[in-house]
Chain A
Amino acid sequence: MKRVLVAMSGGVDSSVAAALALAQGYEVVGATMKLWGGPSDSGCCSVADVEDARRVCQQLGVAHHVFNFTAEFEREVVARYVSAHEQAATPNPCISCNAHLKFDRFFERARQLGFDMIATGHHARVTCTDGVFRLRRGHDPAKDQSYVLYMLGQQQLSSLELPVGEMTKAQVRAVAADLRLRTAAKADSQDVCFISRQGGRQAFLGERIPVRPGRLVGKDGSDFGEVPELELLTVGQRRGLGTAVTGPERRYVVGVDLATRTATLGSLEDLLVAEIPVADVSWSAAPVPAGTAVMVQASAHGRPLAARWQPSRPHAGRVVLEERARRIAPGQAVVLYEGDIVLGGGTVPLPA
């Protein structure tokens, strides 16, 4: 019998993933990662979430363990998040967490403990054709999480079960309710888990890096006043730019320069680009040849755009868009799809 270690957050998706893996005949063990040691909206150390995962495991009659990965989380996710802001990038910490914690640290721990596979509650699917594993979009378009899993390679995909990927969220909740799992009606987690709603990003970063004012300037050098926290601005942002930014024309942040402590504002037209640079590219299977037609997604629930892939160096290149689209902030992930298959992805680099 195959042994599967299920990563359980204490939410409904991973609860159902564990139940389904068990129903498929796997030998199942649940494990919850303790990731964030600081204050959060779900309480200190998210003890309540760990307890939910443990109670679900007890109900399913499977063992449950807690792994303390707070040191790695601090180093690989929080520190990267903070230092990215120091460079005026807009990082996606969920992607770092998947890359370094869930599908690296947790994966290694599962191996060490002799498990054959791991399973998670992500809404995505893994298929295999002719020995090649493919990551595909989840069945529920509103919940699809393939974007945040783009870094998974063959080794990880070959040992990964995503039991809820074929289901809609409503079906997941229905299964949980049928099984009377205590997490059936639990609200979905939202936002960045280590940033509390009360203080927000501003308070979190303000405690860790100097967050200082900057000037807003037009493309022609005209002055639009000051923003109190230049490090928190994101390319493409329109709101929260202060009272000096008025008039009938909508103005967007088109660039942030921490060296000169300015953010450049422009029109929507100024924001549009014909291509997006991508660095730190990883491929799900083989690298995609130059000129391949792909669909590109640049945010968790962004609209896919038609483009062609143009590599420049190993693990870097650009996507050339069929139609111009809004600029993507440095630090954001760009994921390449062919239909519902994830080909790979990377990160928008800081401007040279």
Chain B
Amino acid sequence: MDSVDLEHFLVIGAILFGIGLYMSLAKRNFVGVLIGIELMFNGVNLTFISFSRFVESAEPLNGHIFVIFVITVAAAEAAVALALAVLLYRLRDTINVDQIDLLKW
């Protein structure tokens, strides 16, 4: 583990976050956007875990606890989002986010 230290994990986390961010802003498909957001969450999770492992802290476990909660929240998020997506598809026959612009200005 000598050659792999905190920075590497953080960089991976940041890259994951960045990919997710790009996806969520660029994908037209609603599910794609959702996956992008999930990726962002996972980038964050990786960051938390690695901090938890490497940083001098009075609360070393907090990072792990955080990650578990974030995973749970992300699952709930997906549930709500997919429910809305199904409804969207039924109402409008599309799940392309760039076509939902009824509300504007």
Are A and B subunits of one complex? no
